[in-house]
Each structure stands twice: as C-alpha cells, then as structure tokens.
Structure 1
Amino acid sequence: MCTSIRFTDNSGHMYLGRNLDWSFDYGQQVRVMPRGFHIPYSFIDDATAAHAVIGMCIDYRNYPMFFDCGNDAGLAVAGLNFPGYAEYAEGPVDGKTNIAAYEFPLWVAATFSTVDEVEAALRDTVIVAKSAGEGLGVSLLHWIIGDSQRSIVVEVMADGLHVYDDPVDTLANQPTFPWHMENLRTYITATSDFPQTATWRGAELKPYGAGAGMRGIPGDCYSPSRFVKAAYLNANYPQKESETENVVRMFRSLEGVVMIEGASRMGDGKFEKTIYTGCFSARTGNYYYAMYGDPSIRYVSLMDAEGASPDRLVVPEPRRS
C-alpha cells in the first residue's frame, strides 16, 4: 500500500512525497530522464520528452517505469495501489490519446507543465491495461498529481476515468477518493490545540499534556486510517521557508503513516513495510529519498541531466542531505 502528500512552502514552491509500501524490494532506482529523451510509448509514435524528469523507477531496458517523479516545470505525480477498484480499458480507443497504465506517470511528467494542462488532456485520454513486458503484469493504481497551485486525483474504474480536486493534498489506497473525503467528516472535532480544563459537576478535569485534541485520529496501518492521519498531519503542520525545513516536514509527516515490518501481515503471509520514502522539490529540482533499511536521506538533482545525451537515462550519484 502507499501514502502521498503535497504541500507548498512560504514562497509557493511545491513538495510532493510518498511512502511506497510493500513486502519486497522492486530493485527500484533513482533516474533522471533528459529533456528530448525518445519515449517508446505503446500507442503514441515519435514522442520526445518536453521536460526533464526525475524520480524513483524500475529502469527497464533504459525505460523509466516511474513510481513517482517530478519535472523541470515543477509538476509531480505519484502512483498508489488501488486494487479492487482500478479497471482500465482492454485496448486502445480510436480517436483518443491512449496511454498504457505503466506509462502514465512518465507521460504526465514528460509532457505537461501544470495540473490544469493534465486535467484538460485527460478529457480525451484512455488508460489501457497493457503491461511493459512479458511476465510484468499490470499494476492497478490511482494517481495524485500536483503543482504549485493544487493537486488532483485520477482514478480509472469500470464507469470511466474520474478526476477529483484534492483539497487536502493527500492520497492513500482504496476505497475511492470521494469515500475518503466523506470519511474525514468523522474527525471534524480533532484539533492540534492545547485542551482546556473541563468541569464535570464539582470535578476539574485537567489534561495530562498536549495531544488530547488529536484523540480519535487513527494510528493503524489500514488505508482509510492512513489517509485520515496523513491529511491531519498535512493540514496542521506549520508552513516552513527553507528547503531543509520542508524536506524535514515531508519526511516527518510521512513517518507518521509509515509501515513497520511486523505490524501488518499481507494476504500472502508476508509483512508489509515502507520500502522507501521519496520527496520531489519543485524549488530545487531535487529528489530526496530514504530506504527502509537505511533511513538516512539522500538526494539527486535534475541538474544531473544537464548536457546528458537524450538517448540514455542518467544514473546520478546520490548526495547526503
């Protein structure tokens, strides 16, 4: 499963991050795709990347199958697991822009500059259930897409493609995004304020300390619970100014919904854990990440693609944050 949030700093620069949760490592790598890179889409001919893109991916034969990524225009996207709900077209549809499900994050980041542009294009887009290669399968996902102005959620189900404004800048897994937003109404009394002393008849009931206003916010690993807690943390974290402060904000917020090995067993008997946490900064073009077994934060930069050949993905040297 997964959780993602988006926010902006005091100057309006966007940060979009995510936890990727599963029971095993995918062999994921951080890659930078240079502007002008030839993209071998399944249903689009002669496509070259209008933007340089950076993010976490499976590097499949010099093709970046991004889990999440951001581009040089400050647009970012992350795909999260959505089984039981996601349902793509069985094949391409004439007269439409047809995008294979595994291509979607790359198509968004390589093609567009803003959420508005993406939303307009999606009115004429079909997501197709096509895998990248034999034995790879088709991942059942939904996506959060953000820029400096707003974020949207894209869900493709049996009744078609849906685009939702995301006023809480949060996404988790199933059920659907509208269900999660309705569920938030259950927690409208939650507050980060220090609680006041209460009087019950002749008794004065004083708080033990801070945090009582948050009672009722769930802390378990279930997808609806992670959505609620992530939305609460994202809504109440004070805005910060510097790059360092905002990267800390992202990683600390996502730690609040991290999956700890041993806490949640999957249907196949294996324990789910947060394989990595990633964060794209539109302010610097840096991509920050930390792995489950090594929580130190490293980063690579879109600048690593400067002067690179458009024929190859860039394998950047990570720096410590």
Structure 2
Amino acid sequence: MCTGIRFNDASGKMFFGRNLDWSQGYGEQVVVTPAAAPVPAAFDRPNDPAPGVGHTVMGMAIIFQGIPLYFDCANDAGLAVAGLNFPQSARYAAEPQAGATNVAAYEFPFWVTRSFATLAEVREALKDVTIVAKAVNEHLPVASLHWIIGDATGSIVVECMEDGLHVWENDADVLTNEPDFGWQRTNLRNYLTLSENEPAHAAWGAAELAPFGSGMGMQGVPGDYSGPARFVKVAFVNNHYPTQESEAANVTRLFRTLASVAVPEGSVRMADGSFEKTLYTSCFSAASLTYYHAAYDDLAVRAYPLAGCDLSRTEPYVIAPAA
C-alpha cells in the first residue's frame, strides 16, 4: 500500500511526495531521463514528443532495456505523478483501442511527465486515453494501480475501473489505496469534527470536565494502516500543517506529514506471510527542481537536484545524491 500528497509553499510552488509501502524492493533507484533520450513506447502514438522536444523526467525507477519504469516521478516543468496500489478495483483495457491514445499502465507516469507541462494539459489529454494492461515483459506482471497527478494548481486522481476511466478532482490533495477515490473523499465527512484545537471545558450537571491536555481534538482519528485510515489521517495532517516558506521547511513538512502514516515492519502482515513496511519516502520540490529520498533503513534525507544532472545524455541513467 502507499500514500501520496501534494501542497504548495508560501510562494505557490508545489511539493509532491509519497510513501511506498510494500514487502520487498525491486532495486529501484533515483533515475533521470533527459529530454534527449529516446524511450521505446508500448504503442504507436504520433502525438508523443520527439526526443529533445518533451520534458526531462526524474524520480524513483528501475531501468529495463532502456525503459525507465517509474514508481513516482516529476519533470522540469513542475508536474509530478505517483502510482499507488489499487488491486481490487483497477481494470485496464485488455487491448489497445482504435482511435484512442493507448498507454501501457507501466509507462503511464513517464508518458504524463515526458509529454505535458501542466495539469490542465493532462486533463485534456486524458479525454482520449486508454490505459492498457500490457506488461513490459514476462517477469514483470501488470501492476494494478491508480495515480495522483499534481502541479502548482492542484491535483487529480486517475482510476481505471470496471465502468471506465475516472478522472477525479482531488481537493484533499492526498491519495492512498482501496476503496476508490470517490468513496475515500466522501468518507472524510465522517471526521469533520476532528480539530487541531483543544476541546472546550464541558459541564455535566455539577461536574466540570476539562481535557487532559492538547491533542484531544484529534480523538476519533483512525490509527490503523488501512487505505481509509491513512487517507483520513494524512488528509487532516496535510491540510492543517501551516504553510511554510523555505525549501528546508517544506521538505520537512512533507516528510513529517508522510511519517504520520508510515508503516513500521511487523504491523502489517500480507497474505503470503511477509510484512509490509514503508520502503521509502520521496519528495519533489517544484521550487528547486530537486528530488529528495529517504529509505526505511536509512532515514537520512538525500537531495538529487536536477541542476546537477547531465541532460546531454541520451539514455535514462541512475543519479547520485548531491554531495
């Protein structure tokens, strides 16, 4: 399972990030794909940008035969995408559709960030998109995902379900897992009495009741690691965290917010007996075009500025953190 969020800093620049929760890693590393790099597409798409015309993309990925398989990524225009597990509800098209823009599920985050500069452009393009259940190879099965996409103007959620493609306007600026986003957004209404404030004293007849201390306004917030519980908690934290100004303060905000729903090993056992945990937390700053990353076993937050990358290269490549 996973959690994604976005917010803006005091000057309107976006910060976007996610927890990736799973029982094992796949050798993922921070990868940059320069705009000049030709990347094979799963289907013929005449409107895709030619090498050197589209956007440079960076994020967490594995590289397979020159194809960057991004878990989450962002581009040089400040647009970001993250894919989150959606195993019960995701239904992709079995085959490409005539007359549509066909995109394989595995390439969707890269296609979005390589092709578009703004969320408005993505919304328009999605009117003609079919997401297809095509695997990149026989060893990497199709992952059942939904996606949060954001820029400085806001975010959307993209879900392929039995009744078709849904594009949800995401005013909560968060995403977790099952159920679908529409259910999760409606469920927030069950928690509208949560407050960051200390409850007022109450009189029960002659008895005056006072709170034990701060934090009691949050009584009732769910504390388990299910998709609905994490959605409620991270939505509250993300939307009540005070707006920050500096890069450091906003990176801190993102990592602290996602830490509120991070999964420790030993708390969530999967059906195969393995334990799920938060393998990594990532953050993208559109203000500085920097990707930040911290792993479960290495809590140091490392920075990967796009300004330090060799954008003349013509293939996706793994980058090292700034010294």
TM-score (norm 1): 0.97
Q: 1:131 to 1:9 in 2, by over 3 A?
A: same
> Shift of the alpha carbon at 1:61?
2.5
Aligned to 2:161: 157
Identity of aligned residues (%): 52
Q: Deviations over 1:40-65 (max 9, x none)?
A: 11112574361011100112223210
Partner SS for 1:38: coil
Partner SS for 2:318: coil
Q: Deviations over 1:139-166 (max 9, x none)?
A: 0000000000010000001111000000
The aligned amino acid for 2:199 is P
Q: Deviations over 1:110-163 (max 9, x none)?
A: 000111100100000100000111221000000000000010000001111000
Aligned to 2:84: 80
Q: 1: CA distance between counterparts of 2:249 and 2:59?
A: 21
The aligned amino acid for 1:8 is N
Partner SS for 2:275: coil
Alignment of 1:38-49 (within 5 A): 38-44=38-44, 47-48=50-51
Aligned to 1:102: 106
Aligned to 2:194: 190
Aligned to 2:11: 11
Q: 1: CA distance between counterparts of 2:242 and 2:65?
A: 42
Q: 2: CA distance between counterparts of 1:306 and 1:168?
A: 36
Q: 2: CA distance between counterparts of 1:92 and 1:106?
A: 18
2:320 aligned with 1:317: yes
Pick aligned residue for 1:114 from 115, 118, 130: 118
Q: 1: CA distance between counterparts of 2:64 and 2:173?
A: 30
Aligned to 1:123: 127
Q: 2: CA distance between counterparts of 1:136 and 1:70?
A: 23
Query: In the comparison of the two structures, how many residue pairs are matched?
Result: 319
Q: 2: CA distance between counterparts of 1:315 and 1:88?
A: 30
Is contact 2:45–2:101 with CA below 8 Å preserved after alignment?
A: no
Is contact 2:35–2:311 with CA below 8 Å preserved after alignment?
A: no
Aligned to 2:176: 172
Pick aligned residue for 1:65 from 51, 69, 79: 69
Q: 1: CA distance between counterparts of 2:34 and 2:95?
A: 30
Is contact 1:54–1:301 with CA below 8 Å preserved after alignment?
A: no
Is contact 1:305–1:314 with CA below 8 Å preserved after alignment?
A: no
The aligned amino acid for 1:17 is G
> Shift of the alpha carbon at 1:203?
1.2
Partner SS for 1:156: strand
Q: 1:145 to 1:45 in 2, by over 3 A?
A: closer
2:294 aligned with 1:259: no
Partner SS for 2:123: helix
Q: 1:314 to 1:308 in 2, by over 3 A?
A: farther
- Indicate the RMSD between aligned Cα atoms, in angstroms: 1.2
Is contact 2:79–2:151 with CA below 8 Å preserved after alignment?
A: yes
TM-score (norm 2): 0.96
Q: 2: CA distance between counterparts of 1:260 and 1:181?
A: 26
Q: 2: CA distance between counterparts of 1:221 and 1:127?
A: 29
Q: 1: CA distance between counterparts of 2:111 and 2:43?
A: 12
Alignment of 1:130-145 (within 5 A): 130-145=134-149
Partner SS for 1:57: strand
Partner SS for 1:39: coil
Q: 2: CA distance between counterparts of 1:250 and 1:45?
A: 36
Is contact 1:277–1:291 with CA below 8 Å preserved after alignment?
A: yes
